[in-house]
Amino acid sequence: MFLFAKSKIINYINNNPESRVNLVLLLKNFETRSHPFFTDSNIDLRYPNGFGSSSFTNDYTIQYEINIHAKALLITWVGSKSELKEKERVEQEEFERYNREVLDGELVRGTFTATGEGLTSKPVKPDPSIPTFKSDLEKKIESFNLEINASELDYFKTVEDYECAVEEAISLFSSRPGSSNFNELLILLFKIDHYETNVLVFPEANLVEFVSYMMKFFKLEISDFRDILNTDEFESFLSGKLKLKAYPLKRVLTLVGLKFFYGKVK
């Protein structure tokens, strides 16, 4: 799965500089680890679209839409813990207003039926032609991809073109294979990825910033690392004057919960 619309993270960091280290960590964590949603045991092609979210230490969150057939996650929102709480409050109020004013209290039954024992659901028989939980699932998803001639594409020349394409991709994101909208979505995602890879400049954070941030999160003191480095050595590391060798670095990263991308940080 590939993550798109990363400019939303950049824009948020630019407006909220204090979020930089956390969101860079979140992005590195997301790209390094396989998201649990996308293992064969969790994917069901009967439900190829959905929503998800990821956070690192829960201080900041990204929300995204999912299109399994396009193998894509499209970021729709970025924010802090307090902003997420406020967003959820507003959404809950809108949901309650909709139920109150639009549905007017009526029960939307769907596939539910009333019996003497109360409401019971009528099971939906799965379509045997749609693969679910198969070992060759990735191949089946891959088969929906469109052959794209990269040299013939008209790539974005301005940030405005790119941002318009992101909004257009959001509007097409629920489309499925076999439709012209889906083919258009794949081409848009290809061009968006090209722009994000070759043009966008992402804020960075260095290894010392990562370690310092996680020390604060776990409330760790320099003395907690005494089995790895003495006080002077660790202070030199935190000041950027000492570059750790592989073994002590791995132990430090393990202690602060960052072992998973050891060797993948600068």
Looking at the fold, whether 9 and 57 belong to one and the same domain comes out as: yes
| More confident call, 18 vs 119 | 18
Does some domain include residue 164? Answer: yes
| Whether residue 156 is found in the same domain as residue 226 | no
Two structure tokens written together for 165: 């394409």
The predicted model gives 224-236 an average pLDDT of 95
Both 61 and 156 in one domain: the answer is yes
Domain count, the chain: 2
Task: Answer with the one of 181, 198, 215 that is the final residue of a domain.
Answer: 198
Burial of 184 (0-12, 13-18, 19+ CB in 10 A): middle
Sign of CA dihedral 232, 234, 236, 241: positive
Of the residues 198, 223, 238, the one at which a domain ends: 198
Sign of CA dihedral 211, 215, 221, 227: negative
Is the pLDDT score of 79 beyond 60?
A: yes
Grade residue 103 by pLDDT with cuts at 50, 70 and 90. low
Residues listed for the chain: 266
pLDDT, position 113: 43
Look up the domain containing 245 and give its range. Answer: 207-261
78 and 161 assigned to the same domain: yes
Q: Examine the domain organization and report whether 17 and 69 are in the same domain.
A: yes
Answer yes or no: is 130 within a domain: no
Residue 178's pLDDT band (boundaries 50, 70, 90)?
Answer: confident
| Whole-number Cα distances in Å, 206 to 114, 120, 130, 180 | 60, 55, 45, 44
For residue 122, tell me if it sits in a domain. Answer: no
Residue 30 placed within a domain: yes
d(CA 17, CA 73): 25
pLDDT tens per residue, range 137-146: 444 444 445 6
pLDDT in tens, 188-224: 998 999 899 899 999 999 999 999 999 999 999 999 9
Q: Are residues 64 and 22 in the same domain?
A: yes
Residue 185, domain member (yes or no): yes
Model-level pTM? 0.74
Let me know whether 55 and 181 are in one domain: yes
Band (pLDDT 50/70/90 cuts) for residue 48 is low
Pairing state between β 72-80 and 2-4: parallel
In a domain, 10, yes or no: yes
Q: How confident is the model over 67-92, as a mean pLDDT?
A: 91
Cβ-contact 6, 75 below 8 angstroms: yes
**Claim to verify: residue 84 and residue 213 sit in the same structural domain:** no
Statement to judge: residues 67 and 167 lie in one domain? yes
Are 153 and 27 part of one and the same domain?
yes
pLDDT cut 70: percent of the chain above it: 71
176 falls within a domain: yes
- Examine the pLDDT at 122 and tell me if it is beyond 50: no
Q: 241 and 176, same structural domain?
A: no
Average pLDDT over residues 146-158: 75
Name the strand (E) or helix (H) holding 195.
helix 180-198
Structure tokens at 91: 């959404």
Task: Pick the last residue of a domain from 198, 222, 240.
Answer: 198
Q: Is the predicted pLDDT of residue 168 greater than 90, yes or no?
A: yes
Backbone angles phi, psi at 53, to 5 degrees: -150, 155
Q: Answer yes or no: do 61 and 150 share one domain.
A: yes
Which of the two residues, 38 and 59, has the higher pLDDT score? 59
Whether 69 and 176 have beta carbons less than 8 Å apart is answered as yes
What is the β-pairing status of strands 118-121 and 112-115?
antiparallel
* DSSP one-letter string for 18-69: GGHHHHHHHHHHHHHSPPGGGSTTT-BTTS-EEEEEEESTTSEEEEEEEETT
